[in-house]
Amino acid sequence: MKQVMHKAILAAVLATGIASCSQNAITGRNQLTLYNEADIQSMAAQQYQQFLTENKVVSTSGSKDAEMVRRVGQRLVNAINSYYSSQGKTAELEGYKWEYNLVNSQEVNAWCMPGGKIVVYTGLLPITQNEAALAVVMGHEIAHALAKHGNERMSQSAIQQMGQQALSVAIANKSAAAQNILLSAYGIGSNVGAMLPFSRKQELEADQFGLIFSSMAGYNPQEAIALWERMKAASGGSKPPEILSTHPAEDTRIQKLRDFMPEAMKYYKPVGK
């Protein structure tokens, strides 16, 4: 399987004339990125605006929950801007135009598209229960964007689903096909052996750096453990086996969060102290 994937990647790169791998500034990991990040951010912004017009956005005027989402988002972004500046990596945030919106939906979910377009669903708030837990979730989603997991999954999906010729067309023309790949990059992969384990790796990366970002913003990262205990209880044991899931099983995730916690706590300084 790996040999086939490598051949497919090489063929696609030769056909499109673009670089196949880059080192991520946050994770330090080499990743497959066949798409131009600016193009992805442009597509994401279009899809985000379309999503907002088709769903009920909760106004910050008169809504404590919507104001909380905005406040948490801004604190996270301020911390991230400071961190990137201290590392001399502000160029990595070029093109980011952060937005934070609470959407009225019973779905227990949140996401951040490339370029910093964030949505939190109202159905998530009974699970998070407090601002620090919400920060953990939003930090996790922001980490996906900063780690360029969208680009990585789009590239993997393009190689797997579209083939060499279609990939070349999608990238060259920025067609509807490319937009569909962008959206599917946030969904379920189609190949257990190749796509799904990789997605679980991305999830754990987002967990690790999401904890760090929430800590930098002055939120106690230890809230993540109680949060995922509540997530586990809410799932009622209805989740598929881990091998068939894009997300780590709750017990696996909780243990990994415990492993990540000492590093995250190094960055934690409560606001006002």
- Is 141 an annotated catalytic residue? yes
Count of Cβ atoms closer than 10 Å to residue 135 Cβ = 31
What is the rounded CA–CA span in Å between residue 71 and residue 65?
10
Looking at residue 240, what DSSP letter applies?
A: P
Single out the residue of 149, 146, 140, 147 nearest to residue 223, CA to CA. 140
Which residue in 92, 131, 141, 229 is the catalytic one? Answer: 141
- Across 92-128, b (16+ Cβ under 10 Å) vs e yields bbeebebbbbbbebeebebbbbbbbbbbbbbebbebb
Strand-pair category, 21-23 with 57-58: unpaired
Residues classed as catalytic: 141
